[in-house]
Each structure stands twice: as structure tokens, then as C-alpha cells.
Amino acid sequence: MSKDEAIKHCEEVMMENLEKTKDRNASDPIAINCFECAEEHRQLAEWLKDYKRLKEQEPCEDAISRQAAIDAITKTSGIRGDALKALYDLPSVTPQPEGGRWIYDKNIDNWKCSECGETPKTMGYCGSAAFMAEHFKYCNHCGAKMQEVEG
């Protein structure tokens, strides 16, 4: 059985069990059992989808933590400025949200990631939308790839 077939099977069993609960009283033991079975198959389908996504991602044989690299370099050579920003801008090797965007938040007078809500790691205000689009292609908190800038 393929991953897609297993996901489809779980979703079908879930729907069949939900259908069985339609005309029954909520306290009916059969309805309770069918609902629990449906919920278990829904969860199993979600886990299988996550597993499938992880299996299909590109393998990474020799990954290190971005923060560990930054800590090691800044500790030994005092790197900062453009070089440090370049390290923060590297994409993450872990599965990341797609379609993130920078959103300007007037309350804090700065930009925030649409995926995690964090502001970019910088020395302060980041600048214009054009600056954000050009210089911050990834969120340096959650790793989301920035598709656009709003604000």
C-alpha cells in the first residue's frame, strides 16, 4: 500500500464512521464508538500526511544549526554587519512554511513575519518594503520563505 493509498483509506474510514453517527443519539454507545474511530482515523491520516511530506523533502546529510554557526563565527572573528546578515538570510534545512510575507506593524514601527509573528533579527528598524523584499528573503526566526511584503 502506498502512502497516498493509506491516507485515502484513513479518510474513507473516517467518513464512513462519521456517516454512521448521523442518525444516532450522541449518547448511543455505537455512535460514540464510531465517532472515536473516525477521530482516530483522522489523526492517522494527518500523521501519514506529515510523514509523506518529511519523506519527500530533500535529504540533508551534513546540517548544522544556523545559530551554532553564527555563535562560532562571531566568537572567533567578531563578524558582524553584512556578513552576519548573510548568515541570517541563508535558507533553513528543516521543513519551512511556504508563502510567508513581511507585514508592517504600525504598533511596533517594524516588520513582522506572517508565519511566526517575529521581527527580523537586525540592529533596529529594517527600512522600506523594497529593502525587506531585497534583503530578507527568509524569516531568520522560523525560516519561512518570504513571498511578498505587505505594508
Half-sphere exposure in the Cβ direction for 109 (13 Å, CA): 2
CA 16/CA 9 separation, integer angstroms: 10
Residue 111 has a CB neighbour count (10 Å cut-off) of 27
pLDDT at 99: 74
pLDDT at 18: 87
pLDDT tens sequence for the chain (151 residues): 888 999 999 999 999 988 888 888 878 888 889 889 989 999 999 989 888 887 776 666 667 777 777 777 777 776 666 777 777 777 666 655 667 888 888 888 888 888 888 888 764 556 777 888 777 888 877 778 888 777 6
Question: What would you measure as the largest C-alpha separation in the chain, in angstroms?
Answer: 71
User: What are the extents of the domains in the chain?
Assistant: 3-56, 66-150
Nine cell digits for residue 71: 555563535
pLDDT at 125: 57
CA 120/CA 99 separation, integer angstroms: 16
CA 87/CA 134 separation, integer angstroms: 15
pLDDT at 94: 62
pTM of the predicted protein model: 0.41
